[in-house]
Amino acid sequence: MSTKRRRTATDNKSKQIQNECWPNLSWDDLANWAGSRSVSRGRAYQSHGRVDDLAVSEDGWLLASVTGGERYAVTVWCDQEQKKGGVLYSRCTCPVGTDGCKHAVAVVAEYLKLLGEDAEIPAADPDDERWAMLSGEDDEADDLETDSDDYE
């Protein structure tokens, strides 16, 4: 993961709002990205308090841990330049690994909930070990079956 993506927020609240992709997301956008099943399961994970240690980088990348069958590291980011509403991307240490697993949906749902509550969200530490876990250096998860039905 590049240093740019791992920078901490100097003014966390203004950086969150600066990335207009997040507040403009709809549940339909999430369903188009992750599929309705992942959205349903991700929302359940979020509502049951399975998202921990949520933080946001200076450039708007979300970083969190989500507890399922195991504890997974998750990052989600939005590229506003790809289309008007933005395009979501994610990486997770679960067997699905990339774009749109239920753990990533849970992180987005938690972030949007906190934004709606005007809650303070901590800045992501560039030295957080989860960045290294998500860097793709160990792509073992990419070789596994990507059907998320059997994974918590």
Helical (H) or strand (E) element with 103: helix 102-116
Mean pLDDT score of the chain = 79
- Which of residues 79 and 109 earns the better pLDDT score? 109
- Confidence (pLDDT) at 146: 34
**Spatial CA neighbour of 22 closest among 111, 99, 122:** 111
> Where residue 96 falls among pLDDT bands split at 50, 70, 90?
confident
Instruction: Count CA within 13 A, CB hemisphere, residue 91.
Output: 18
Helical (H) or strand (E) element with 54: strand 51-56
CA distance to 55, 90, 143, per residue, from 40 (Å) = 23, 17, 25
pLDDT tens column, 67-76: 988 999 999 9
- Confidence (pLDDT) at 27: 86
pLDDT tens column, 3-47: 444 443 434 443 444 467 887 888 888 899 999 999 999 999 999
Are 40 and 48 within 8 A, CB to CB?
no
**Spatial CA neighbour of 105 closest among 24, 25, 30:** 30
Judged against a pLDDT cut of 60, whether residue 116 lies above it is answered with yes
First-to-last CA distance in the chain? 26
pLDDT tens column, 45-67: 999 999 999 999 988 999 999 99
